[in-house]
């Protein structure tokens, strides 16, 4: 029976052709995915115009490394919402935190298990769809004094000046300001922003909160640390 379901478009980026070929073969075998391939960061950015639904992105590559590709991707509002899963041979917590700060959605360590990659791809796409639906249900623009958070364009303005927030920092700010006055534990914030099936350390939340506060300038003290409990965005005075 022919499957007329629209296939999700996956961009696989890795400088090792064997890895690209294995991932392409296994993803396409699912009959749910159309796979685009690139072998360096420059090629990847050129293919983003094909509007992939998710990018599997190696870190250590010629031309541009994965971190730089992700950074450029997330700085462009047209591409900022595309989910990114990093592929890496490095098991380094600092690198993982850097990747998550840049807006990556997940990390998969090499050597790769095709079954694990497929499971993570499906999980991230599901979560991305849920976030899109949730965003559509929320107020498009949340205004707090002279702070504006736009859930459609993923933009933040303070005194009408736009401030760039990578994806996870934006989601964290949006969640806290949409639920002003409520205290959320690190665990709840991890589950809300990164998802229940993604392993990230508690410190990731603290790092992202610090980054958000830094960008908020005069509004930085509205994100309160509640000792032993977590964080909240406090109500206006």
CATH number of 8-134: 3.40.50.2300
Whether pLDDT at 3 is above 60: no
Return the ∠ at Cα 50 (arms to 82 and 11), rounded to 5°.
60
Quote the DSSP letter at residue 10: E
Mean pLDDT of 59-66: 91
Instruction: Single out the residue of 53, 33, 55, 28 nearest to residue 43, CA to CA.
Output: 55
138-172 pLDDT, tens digit per residue, is: 557 899 999 999 988 889 999 999 999 988 899 99
As a whole number of angstroms, the distance between CA 205 and CA 218 comes to: 21
Tell me the CB-side half-sphere exposure of residue 208, using CA atoms within 13 A.
32
13-37 pLDDT, tens digit per residue, is: 999 999 999 999 999 999 999 999 9
- CATH 1.10.10.10 residue ranges in the chain? 139-233
84-142 pLDDT, tens digit per residue, is: 999 988 777 778 888 888 888 889 999 999 999 999 999 999 888 766 665 555 557 89
As a whole number of angstroms, the distance between CA 213 and CA 60 comes to: 31
Whether pLDDT at 1 is above 60: no
As a whole number of angstroms, the distance between CA 181 and CA 223 comes to: 10
The position carrying tokens 């991305």 is 128
Annotate 87-153 with DSSP letters as a single string.
Answer: EES---HHHHHHHHHTT--EEEESSP-HHHHHHHHHHHHHHHHHHHHHHHHS-SEEEETTEEEETTT
Annotate 155-218 with DSSP letters as a single string.
Answer: EEEETTEEE---HHHHHHHHHHHHTTT--B-HHHHHHHHT-TTS---THHHHHHHHHHHHHHGG
As a whole number of angstroms, the distance between CA 4 and CA 2 comes to: 6
CATH number of 139-233: 1.10.10.10
Q: pTM value?
A: 0.64
Residue 123 — φ and ψ, nearest 5°?
Answer: -65, -45
- CATH 3.40.50.2300 residue ranges in the chain? 8-134
């Amino acid at each position: 029976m022919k499957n007329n379901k629209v296939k999700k478009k996956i961009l696989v980026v890795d400088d090792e052709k064997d890895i690209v070929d294995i991932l392409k073969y296994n993803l396409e075998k699912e009959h749910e995915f159309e796979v685009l391939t690139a072998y360096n960061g420059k090629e990847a950015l050129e293919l983003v115009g094909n509007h992939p639904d998710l990018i599997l992105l190696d870190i250590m590559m010629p031309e541009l490394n994965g971190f730089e590709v992700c950074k450029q991707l997330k700085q462009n509002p047209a591409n900022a919402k595309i989910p990114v899963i990093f592929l890496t041979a490095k098991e380094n917590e600092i690198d993982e935190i850097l990747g998550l700060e840049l807006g990556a959605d997940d990390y998969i360590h090499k050597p790769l298990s095709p079954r694990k990659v497929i499971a993570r791809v499906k999980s991230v796409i599901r979560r991305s769809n849920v976030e899109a639906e949730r965003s559509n249900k929320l107020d498009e623009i949340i205004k707090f004094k002279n702070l504006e958070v736009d859930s459609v364009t993923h933009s933040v303005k303070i005194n009408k000046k736009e401030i760039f927030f990578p994806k996870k920092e934006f989601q964290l700010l949006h969640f806290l300001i949409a639920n002003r006055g409520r205290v959320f534990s690190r665990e709840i914030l991890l589950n809300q922003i990164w998802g229940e099936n993604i392993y990230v350390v508690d410190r990731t939340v603290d790092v992202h909160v610090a980054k958000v506060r830094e960008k908020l300038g005069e509004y930085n003290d509205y994100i309160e640390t509640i000792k032993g409990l977590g964080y909240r965005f406090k109500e206006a005075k």
